[in-house]
Each structure stands twice: as C-alpha cells, then as structure tokens.
Amino acid sequence: MNIKEEMMKKAEILNAKLEGKEYYVKVVECFKNNGMKNAFVLIHHDKEEGHASATIYKECMEDVWDNDEKLIEYLDAVYEESKKVTVDIKEICSREQILATVKPRMISETNLENVINNEIVYARYLDMLILFYVEIPNLDTGKEVASYTIKRDNLKMAGVTKEELYINAIKNIEEDYVIENMEKVICRIVGITEDELEESMCSSFTSSIPMYVITNKQNVNGASVILNKTMLGELKEIIKGDYYILPSSVHECIVVPIDEADAESLREMVTEINDGQVKPEDRLTYNVYKYTNGEIKIA
C-alpha cells in the first residue's frame, strides 16, 4: 500500500468518526518543495468564504498516526487554530500584493514535469528551476510561514507578467540574506564557542578550508540567495576573490574560495552530502557552481 492509498483509507476511517463535527478530512496531492506530496485538508462542511483550510502532511502526524483518537485530537486542535484565521483571497492574490511580496525559491530541474502539469510559473536557472511564492500573513503552520506558489492563473487574474514577477521577486530579496563562516554555524548548532571549537576534533576540518554558509534570514528556501547580486558581490569582498558554490539543500549553500579546492572533489562532497544527509525533498542539485567575472556558471 503506497502513501496515498494509506491516507485515503485513514481518511475514510476518520470521517466516519468525525460525523457531527464542523469539518471533514480530504486527501489532496500538491506540489511541495521537490515533488508531489499527499496531505490531509480539513474542510469546513459549509465551506465558509475566507475560511483557512489547514493542510497537514503525513510526517506531521507520525506520532499519532496509529492512534485514531489521538489523531482526531490533533486534527481538532489544528482545525480550531485554522478557524481563527480569515484569509482575504482577493488581497493576497492581487497585483499589488504579489509584486510587493513575491520571492523566488530554487528547486531541482527534475521537477519540471510536475511543475508544468500543475501550471506553476517557473524560470530556468542553470540546471535548476526558479519558482515564485507569496507568503500568507497571519497564517502560522507551526513549522514555517504559510505561502502559496504562483501559478499561471494567478498571473492572469492579477494582470502580472512573468517578467514583472521575476524582477520584483529578485528585488524583494535584495536585503534578505545571511553570510556566515562555517565555524560559526557549527558552533551555533553544537552549542559551543568558537574557542571551544578550536580545541575540538572538528577544528582540523574547519580550519583546513575556509567555508561560508549563505542563506536567507529565515533559513527557508535560502538557496535562492544565489540570485542576489548584492550578496554575491559582498561575498567576493569577504573572500577576496572568486569562489565555488555548493548547493547543500534548497535552504542553503556552502561557499569555498576558488583557490582552496577543485571542482571535482567538491562535486564528490555534494554527492556525499545529498545522499547521506539531505532529505530527497530538500535536495537541489548534484552540481557545483563557480562564481567568476560577476557570474555563476556550472563548474
């Protein structure tokens, strides 16, 4: 039984137990990050206009999935939270709101067929795809800021051209970036000081090759900062030269000075990280990129 079949069967069981409640469960397939995923949508029986229908992916329910009573308690809590939110669809899909808030995100080009089939607006960038999303204010999913991905119908209804969308998306991330050296990132993750790191077994690795992590301030869809020319120029000043960019996930990239390593060994590193540490839905590419003469190219 695949995930969709499992969720369909579970939804049927849950809906029988949800009789008398304000909502029911529906299984939908939607594009999420790097592929199609199945999810539960909690739908109000009256389908009130502006009511925010909560979308819940299976991984969010793993702890209670095998216990129907606890699962319903969880769904009840999510539904009650969603009732507090009124989404003005016309406003968040308006020309003004789209152009003012749209941002880009990078995904693997292996998603091209799904992107086209779902009528999602995209642009090609090297061996990747750029999608465009708009955050939905005041709608907290508990894990990340809620958003919707721009589709062709959204552009048509808002009277926005693809060129306008691209230009404004890049403009909206001009100041949304973070550059940190790898040692600082490791210290934050491990919970130690940089002095303590120097004394640890990690110091020989971190000091052998200068590395930097680039992402956005939310560290969500942060690989898109490679489209930010301001950030790329600042990075060159910090490194004092050209550099390689390693796409460690859709959320961040690693940067290495060009004279500190060769592209082939870095490509092996990307492969190892992708296959061993990155969830399939978060993988971007297996390539390495070179920033030189103010441009990014595949190394």
Dist CA 182 CA 67 (whole Å): 42
Instruction: For residues 225-247, give the mean pLDDT.
Output: 95
Instruction: Please report the pLDDT score of residue 81 as a whole number.
Output: 83
Q: Is the pLDDT of residue 195 over 60?
A: no
| pLDDT tens, position by position, 85-99 | 777 888 899 999 999
| pLDDT tens, position by position, 288-298 | 999 999 999 99
Instruction: Please report the pLDDT score of residue 145 as a whole number.
Output: 63
Q: Is the pLDDT of residue 26 over 90?
A: yes
With a CB cutoff of 8 Å and minimum separation 6, the contacts of 24 are: 15, 18, 42, 43, 45
User: pLDDT: is 274 or 35 the higher one?
Assistant: 274
Tokens of 13: 């069981």
Residue 293's nearest CA partner among 252, 243, 248 is: 243
Percent of the chain with pLDDT over 90: 64
Is the CB of residue 125 less than 8 Å from the CB of residue 170?
A: no
Residue 57's nearest CA partner among 83, 80, 35 is: 35
Dist CA 20 CA 104 (whole Å): 42
Q: Is the pLDDT of residue 3 over 80?
A: yes
How many secondary structure helices (H) and strands (E) does the chain include?
12, 13
Is the CB of residue 119 less than 8 Å from the CB of residue 132?
A: no
User: pLDDT: is 260 or 232 the higher one?
Assistant: 232
Instruction: Please report the pLDDT score of residue 266 as a whole number.
Output: 92
Instruction: For residues 162-175, give the mean pLDDT.
Output: 97
Residue 184: which pLDDT band, with cuts at 50, 70 and 90?
low
With a CB cutoff of 8 Å and minimum separation 6, the contacts of 120 are: 31, 131, 149, 150, 151, 152
Burial 235-263 (b: 16+ CB within 10 A, else e): bbeebeeebbbbbbbbbbbbbbbbeebee
